[in-house]
């Protein structure tokens, strides 16, 4: 009898699934009689091809789709119908020339974790106002002034590592990037107790951000929701102290506190400011830490390249009287080979493999229909690995950046009005870290490390365990 009920139940599920599947595909064909949807597969009802995407390296999924269907194809992942685009022209179409037809979109659980007023969740006047403000704080002119402070943070972090200690490179770089983010936001004027509390609660939020959004006591997500509330409380305390002091500080928090909402003409609320501060921390941390981890992996696996980078950095080190003089902005701009290594790592690692947008109206692109409400995903990694733009794309070759890449083929920070405004800060932090690491230390990757984890950004397995030794010449100096 139990077997009979099981068969009946299975048949009913299949009937319902088939009905749902046919109905959905019928509806897809009714958007526009003149245009057709891009080729592709929508997979199973509701779940679509999510299992296929997450049961393998996501890059294999994207590449196989492109080989089968071309540079524009449809799929259904994470409960959403999607159109994926794998050409420079398509990326420019979505992110630049017709960006008004596509809005940024994120899962609600992640939006709640950072805050709905954060820069990258918005568009229009409010977005442009906040973006200009953030860009002004992270522009080269502003960054020149904080080179010594970033250098101090880097030196302190490296000196904290035990001689010969095995470190989790990714976790170590995350802590470094967090401290640089705090410097950028608070201008080096944050009380130590606030820094400790912000760091503790931020890392709880960070852990919950990438967990399954189950708001049940004891889960990572539930703990993160509580920590996110505490972050807002801490930031409000800091802001209230500044208001009582009456002095306007020239840092990101100070500018946000004095800024006005372009759409309303009133000052930003504490909630809006908190959302943007936490958003900047998120944007500045994981991506930069991931890039740093990959750079050290590539350098650790290529002794000749590492030696060439070291020669370049030792020249600067000697100019600065063996490190007794601080680095300057001009010196970081003169790190020609090291900068090429950074750029090639950004291409090879492609930390941001794609971005999400949502069509706000029915859109025609190259004879295909992108229906209103569908997610649209420009695939940066596919573009970065296209042999038409980068010869031997799976080979780590910094010299390829001796000349500028073709327009819209190199998109490590996105493009258009939602491109990352902190790209110069990230590169500056990376260059300063590499200078001090290769001139004063030696490092060695622990064991073979060819596997990749996604959390959600791609990083070497186990965060790239690595031995770090201080050079004997500098030991105790």
- Binding site as annotated, residues for heme: 420
Q: Which residues share a beta bridge with 467? A: 166, 444
Strands 72-77 and 80-85: antiparallel
Q: Exposed, middle or buried by CB within 10 Å (0-12, 13-18, 19+), for 440?
A: buried
User: Residue 284 is encoded by which pair of tokens?
Assistant: 């500045």
Strands 72-77 and 165-168: unpaired
DSSP 212: -
User: Residue 95 is encoded by which pair of tokens?
Assistant: 């992110």
User: Residue 285 is encoded by which pair of tokens?
Assistant: 């941390």
Q: Work out whether the CA dihedral 87, 93, 99, 103 comes out positive or negative.
A: negative
Q: In a 3-state reduction of DSSP, which class is residue 246?
A: coil
Q: Work out whether the CA dihedral 243, 245, 248, 253 comes out positive or negative.
A: negative
In DSSP notation, 334-393 reads T-HHHHHHHHHHHHHH-SS-B--EEESS-EEETTEEE-TT-EEEEBHHHHHT-TTTSSST
Q: In a 3-state reduction of DSSP, which class is residue 447?
A: coil
Task: Annotate 338-377 with b (16+ C-beta within 10 A) or e (fewer).
Answer: bbbbbbbbbbbbbbbbbbbbbbeeebebeebbbbeebbbb
Cβ(353)–Cβ(381) below 8 Å: yes
Q: What are phi and psi of 118, to 5 degrees?
A: -60, 150
Distance CA 233, CA 270 (A): 10
User: Residue 168 is encoded by which pair of tokens?
Assistant: 């989790």
Residues flagged as binding site: 420
User: Residue 39 is encoded by which pair of tokens?
Assistant: 């080729």
How far, in Å, are 195, 206, 275, 462 from residue 199 at the CA level? Answer: 6, 10, 16, 22
Strands 357-359 and 102-104: antiparallel
């Amino acid at each position: 009898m139990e077997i009979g009920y099981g068969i009946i139940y299975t048949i009913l599920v299949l009937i319902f699934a088939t009905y749902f599947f046919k109905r959905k595909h019928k509806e897809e064909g009714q958007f526009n009689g003149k245009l057709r949807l891009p080729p592709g597969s929508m997979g199973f009802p509701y779940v679509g091809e999510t299992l296929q995407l997450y049961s393998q390296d996501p890059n294999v999924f994207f590449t196989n789709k492109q080989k089968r269907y071309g540079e524009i194809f449809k799929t259904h992942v994470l409960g959403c119908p999607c159109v994926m685009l794998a050409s420079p022209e398509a990326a420019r179409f979505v992110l630049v020339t017709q960006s008004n037809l596509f809005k940024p979109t994120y899962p609600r659980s992640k939006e709640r974790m950072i805050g709905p007023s954060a820069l990258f969740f918005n568009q229009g006047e409010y977005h442009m106002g906040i973006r200009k403000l953030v860009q002004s704080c992270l522009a080269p002119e502003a960054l020149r002034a904080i080179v010594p402070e970033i250098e101090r943070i880097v030196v302190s972090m490296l000196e904290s590592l035990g001689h010969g200690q095995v470190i989790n490179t990714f976790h170590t770089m995350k802590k470094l990037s967090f401290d640089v983010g705090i410097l950028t936001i608070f201008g080096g004027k944050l009380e130590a107790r606030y820094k400790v509390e912000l760091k503790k609660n931020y890392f709880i939020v960070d852990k919950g951000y990438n967990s399954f959004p189950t708001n049940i006591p004891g889960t990572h997500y539930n703990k993160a929701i509580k920590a996110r509330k505490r972050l807002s409380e801490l930031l409000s305390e800091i802001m209230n102290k500044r208001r009582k002091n009456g002095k306007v500080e020239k840092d990101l928090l100070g500018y946000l506190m004095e800024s006005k909402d372009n759409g309303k003409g009133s000052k930003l609320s504490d909630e809006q400011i908190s959302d943007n501060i936490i958003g900047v921390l998120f944007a500045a941390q994981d991506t930069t830490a991931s890039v740093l981890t990959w750079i050290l992996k590539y350098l650790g696996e290529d002794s000749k390249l590492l030696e060439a980078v070291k020669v370049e950095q030792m020249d600067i080190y000697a100019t600065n009287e063996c490190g007794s003089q601080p680095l300057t902005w001009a010196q970081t701009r003169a790190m020609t080979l090291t900068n090429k290594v950074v750029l090639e790592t950004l291409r090879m690692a492609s930390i941001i493999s794609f971005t999400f947008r949502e069509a706000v109206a029915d859109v025609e692109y190259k004879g295909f229909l992108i229906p209103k409400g569908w997610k649209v995903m420009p695939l940066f990694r596919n573009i970065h690995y296209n042999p038409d733009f980068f010869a031997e794309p799976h080979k780590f070759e910094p010299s390829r950046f001796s000349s500028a890449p073709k327009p819209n083929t190199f998109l490590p920070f996105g493009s258009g009005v939602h491109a990352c405004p902190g790209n110069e800060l990230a590169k500056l932090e990376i260059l300063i870290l590499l200078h001090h690491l290769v001139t004063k230390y030696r490092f060695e990757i622990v064991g073979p490390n060819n596997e990749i984890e996604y959390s959600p950004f791609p990083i070497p397995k186990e965060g790239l365990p690595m031995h770090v030794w201080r050079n004997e010449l500098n030991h105790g100096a």
